[in-house]
Amino acid sequence: MSTVLIMGIQASGVSVAALLEREGHEIRLYDDKVKLERNWKDAGEAVFKGLDRIVISPAIPNTHPVVVGAKERGIPIVSELQLGFERLPCEKIVVTGTNGKTTTVDMLTRMFQTAGKKARAMGNIGYPVSQVVLDGDIPEIAVIEASNFQLEYSNLHVHTAALLNLSPDHMDRYPTYEDYVNAKKRVFLNQTANDFAVLNYDNRILRELGRCLPSAVKWISAKERKGDAYLKNNYFYYADEPLVAVRESKAKGEHNRFNIMTALTIGGLYGVKREQMAAFVREYRVLPHRVEYVCTVGGKRYYNDSKGTNPGATKSAVETVGGKIGLILGGSDKKEDFCELFDALFDRVARVAVTGGNAEKIYQSALKVGYSEIEICPDLKAAIDYLAAADDVDTVLLSPASASFDRYHGYEERGNVFKQLVYALKD
């Protein structure tokens, strides 16, 4: 058996360590932030002695000294996703993209379940694939969310893969946008003519990518009669016949229409019937923190889109809610270009309240493009209070276009704090 270093002892690291230990491998643990009884972080050069491979957490940057040292020594580096994927004996669908991954994975899983199939969501959605293997409760269909970080160190052969969309994100990690795109494209790396790739025909980069893939490409589109699922006359079409009116779906917004079309396309590949698809589209409700209506207070509607962690997601949220919008931006920075965001939102947003670690950067970006209705606020409560008092705002939207780690453990905590503060306005 081999000697394996597990870098990053969070959920996925714990799961893959237990899985490999059960198989008889010698496990070394490494974490810069967590106190461990057996932590190799202070071992220096000895960390590489006798080491056969490294399993890396998505949070570990490529510039980490151990990662650099391993590459110099030719030590293989793989993801937890790779090891779990190889050991999971069932049908596997992988979904990636800049935005909409979790929603689409949830849609697919619930569609399959309502169609009587044993399906389970896993991966970047919060439940490691290796933990499913450990548990032994193997589904008929695994619906896997994969991030660009996971795909960087994965060499998968995915029978059915969907790349939902692409826009700049995580530019703190990648030297160029092309590097980010290349990480996402790895989901199709080993596909053959017997596999399926689901792509958005309306996205130029994805359209060009689809023409180069060896797999069978299933297009979705809001503009063209392409593939199995498309939009026409405000209806979702499937197999060239109207399925259900867009207005009947509870998942609002253009972004969710593409998520639904992706789910319909993949569902059809796995035997979901038309009547089951139609019922699902009518009944599905999106997960929390994704353009989630909170309540109306003082004549203003409040929406929680804490999951909007990049400018592309924020643009979609603004288009979805409409009204005279007071927008809350800011958080931890990922080297995003906010000038483009303000160019796109100039006539759609009445006021902006900005808070968080990158508040000054966002503020200066707004002024640079001539947007002046913006206020820096010390915290989320102050941002809410500022917009609640604004006469020219009837809709308050938290869609930060930034990560949450400057003040919160994740977007869920940030969204929950926002909702608590909004509910407190009623008192």
**How far apart, in whole angstroms, are the C-alpha atoms of residue 398 and residue 306?**
6
- The answer to whether 84 is a known ligand-binding residue is no
Residue 97, annotated as binding a ligand: yes
* Residue 53 phi, psi dihedral angles, 5° rounding: -165, 165
Asked whether residue 322 is marked as a ligand-binding residue, the answer is no
Residue whose pair of structure tokens reads 């989630």 in the numeric block: 292
Q: Any idea which residue has 């008929």 for tokens?
A: 140
CA distances from 276 to 74, 243, 268, 404, 422 (A): 50, 10, 10, 37, 37
- Answer whether 228's CB lies under 8 Å from 192's CB: no
- Please tell me the distance from the alpha carbon of residue 322 to that of residue 69, in angstroms, as a whole number: 51
3-state secondary structure of 200: strand
99 assigned ligand-binding residue? yes
Question: Tokens 């946008």 — which residue?
Answer: 177
Where are the strands (E) in 52-184, listed by range? 53-56, 77-79, 91-96, 119-123, 141-145, 160-163
CA 128 to CA 162: how far, in whole Å?
19
Q: Is 33 annotated as ligand-binding?
A: no
Distance between CA 4 and CA 21 in Å, rounded?
9
**Euclidean distance between CA atoms 38 and 379, whole angstroms:** 39
The token duo for 2 is 């081999």
Return the bridge partners of 292, or none.
Answer: 304
Per DSSP, what are the bridge partners of residue 120? 142
- Give me the residues paired with residue 221 across strands: 230
Annotated binding residue at 331?
no
CB of 130 closer than 8 Å to CB of 88 = no
Check whether 312 is labelled as a binding-site residue: no
User: Known binding site for ATP: residues?
Assistant: 97-103
